[in-house]
Amino acid sequence: MTGRLYGVGLGPGDPELVTVKAARLIGAADVVAFHAARHGRSVARGVAAPYLREGQIEELLVYPVTTETTDHPGGYQGAIDEFYENAAARLAAHLDAGRDVVVLAEGDPFFYGSYMHMHKRLAHRYPTEVVPGVTSVSGAAAAVGRPLVERDEVLTVLPGTLPAEELAEWLATTDSAAVMKLGRTFPQVREAFERAGALGRALYVERATTDRERTMPLADVDPASVPYFSLALLPSALTDPVAVPYHPAAGDGHGGEVVVVGLGPGSRAWTTPEAADALASADVLVGYGPYLDRVPANPRQERCPSDNRVEAERAAHALEFARSGRRVAVVSSGDPGVFAMAAAVLEVADRPEFAGVPVRIVPGLTAAQAVAAKVGAPLGHDFCVLSLSDVLKRWDVVVDRLRHAAAADLVIALYNPRSKHRPHQLGEAQKVLLENRSPDTVVVVGRDVGGPEEHLTVTTLGDLDPETVDMRCLVLVGSSQTRVSPPGRVWTPRNYPSER
């Protein structure tokens, strides 16, 4: 069996930017190969040094020429081609002997790297893997703290060896650019930026991410001081912090909004990504105390808990924050539009003093949906949702609606079924439903569904014990068609008989 060839990217220079995979492969290799000029000092080996181990075979691949002339019969290119052939043969001997070979590459192996010449000569003959690395362009952008492109802009990467007039054409027609291979090419590169009218916003980066890093405006660079390991950047005009339009910060009287957010019924897994994003983006969180407790604490945010029976005051508080420029999330359990804070906020937002304050509703999973899913599909046919609370409507209205829903043979989801202040009403509702429903009608009681005290009870309308129900429960009353199948699955058929 032959050895395996690895082309391993080392990143732009900082040994801590070597990837975990690259470090592992370097340490495990039988042979580590790296290029150097005739002085024999290898930048790649210096970056990889922390990951080398004792006993490894090192293959130093020394270029016969760099920028000087040569008497090789094939000229410069002939000398380089012969070098690559000889280097590939040296590595092939190790691979044929079953040794794994790592070829080190500054930056990324396939981005203007010397490794690619080994790859072209050996990859078709031996098992090969290329490990990408952080490019010098990425390192340079990080060094100057300037994004290269955004949205649909175009980044152009150019070699500095192109003629100045060709470089200028590219620079004049692109949004952002990186010009590689400086050193002796720097004068023509600078000329190209000047011709393109881009010299004023061009930046120079030398030995990015190393302890010898140097950055400055390209126009200020002394050409005699430019090494090969440097590049010129033309960041996008859109990323220029001086040119970025002002966006008012929270609290300066502009840009505030109210987002009414549904957390879902209990489990954090039931909070949608949109809701999580709205909560994370808020400056202020407003809501009933136990609901706010479900949102992870963030010291950047102000939290305003309140009692459960002050919805209008809570809404006004949120709208006042937003009017002053704050981003406010009003927190609801379940879905904010189902017996929750969305309607309360919109009612108060309709007042003249809050005209123009943006209000947005982010939906959530409802308690009825969660309880139904836990037992099966009791909401598989027509259903209605009723609240037994008589705080905002008279009890006789609740009774009248119960009678009509029961007579229509709808599945009924009962919210706010029984509280300390209304201990008798669920029992009264049960009697009203039994006027039109069989005592055998399926009933599901879900308590704290999605929470740590989750409990589900499947019973009948005749056997329902109101004393076991509280405000943390939701009650589902089935229709005449709702069934219970082993092992306790509750479902309502999608079809309905033409005659009952």
384-404 tens-digit pLDDT: 999 999 988 999 999 999 999
Q: Is the CB of residue 491 less than 8 Å from the CB of residue 483?
A: yes
pLDDT higher than 70, residue 10: yes
Q: In this predicted structure, what is the pLDDT of residue 248? A: 43
Q: Is the CB of residue 490 less than 8 Å from the CB of residue 378?
A: yes
Residue type (1 letter), 497: P
Q: In this predicted structure, what is the pLDDT of residue 422? A: 86
Class of domain 257-362: alpha beta
What span, in angstroms and rounded, lies between the C-alpha atoms of 338 and 485? 30
Mean pLDDT, to the nearest integer, of 472-483?
95
User: Which residues on adjacent β-strands are paired with residue 475?
Assistant: 414, 445
E-assigned strands of 119-254? 128-131, 155-159, 176-180, 203-206, 214-217, 230-234
Mean pLDDT of the chain: 92
pLDDT higher than 60, residue 247: no
CATH superfamily for 5-132 is Tetrapyrrole methylase, N-terminal domain (3.40.1010.10)
Q: In this predicted structure, what is the pLDDT of residue 250? A: 40
Q: In this predicted structure, what is the pLDDT of residue 402? A: 96
Using DSSP's 3-state secondary structure scheme, residue 401 falls into helix
Mean pLDDT, to the nearest integer, of 149-164?
94
| Percent of the chain's residues with pLDDT above 90 | 81
Long-range contacts (CB closer than 8 Å, 24 or more residues apart) made by 198-203: 198/171, 198/172, 198/234, 201/234, 201/235, 201/237, 201/240, 202/232, 202/233, 202/234, 203/144, 203/146, 203/232, 203/233, 203/234, 203/235
Q: In this predicted structure, what is the pLDDT of residue 228? A: 87
Residue corresponding to tokens 């060709």? 166
CATH number of 137-239: 3.30.950.10
Q: Where are the domains of the chain?
A: 5-132, 137-239, 257-362, 368-491
Q: In this predicted structure, what is the pLDDT of residue 376? A: 96
Mean pLDDT, to the nearest integer, of 207-225?
95
Going by pLDDT thresholds of 50, 70 and 90, the confidence category of residue 241 is low
pLDDT in tens, 62-90: 998 877 778 888 888 899 999 999 999 99
- Give the pTM: 0.61
Mean pLDDT, to the nearest integer, of 31-42?
91
The conformation of residue 218, written as its DSSP 8-state character, comes to G
Q: In this predicted structure, what is the pLDDT of residue 421? A: 85
Q: Is the CB of residue 483 less than 8 Å from the CB of residue 377?
A: no
CATH number of 368-491: 3.30.950.10
Of the candidates 63, 219, 62, 232, the residue with the CA atom closest to the CA atom of residue 136:
232
How many other C-beta atoms lie within 10 A of the C-beta of residue 96?
A: 12
Q: In this predicted structure, what is the pLDDT of residue 243? A: 52
Q: In this predicted structure, what is the pLDDT of residue 242? A: 59
Domains 137-239 and 368-491 share a fold: yes
What span, in angstroms and rounded, lies between the C-alpha atoms of 75 and 24? 40
Nearest-5° angle of CA 491, CA 496, CA 500? 110
Q: In this predicted structure, what is the pLDDT of residue 61? A: 94
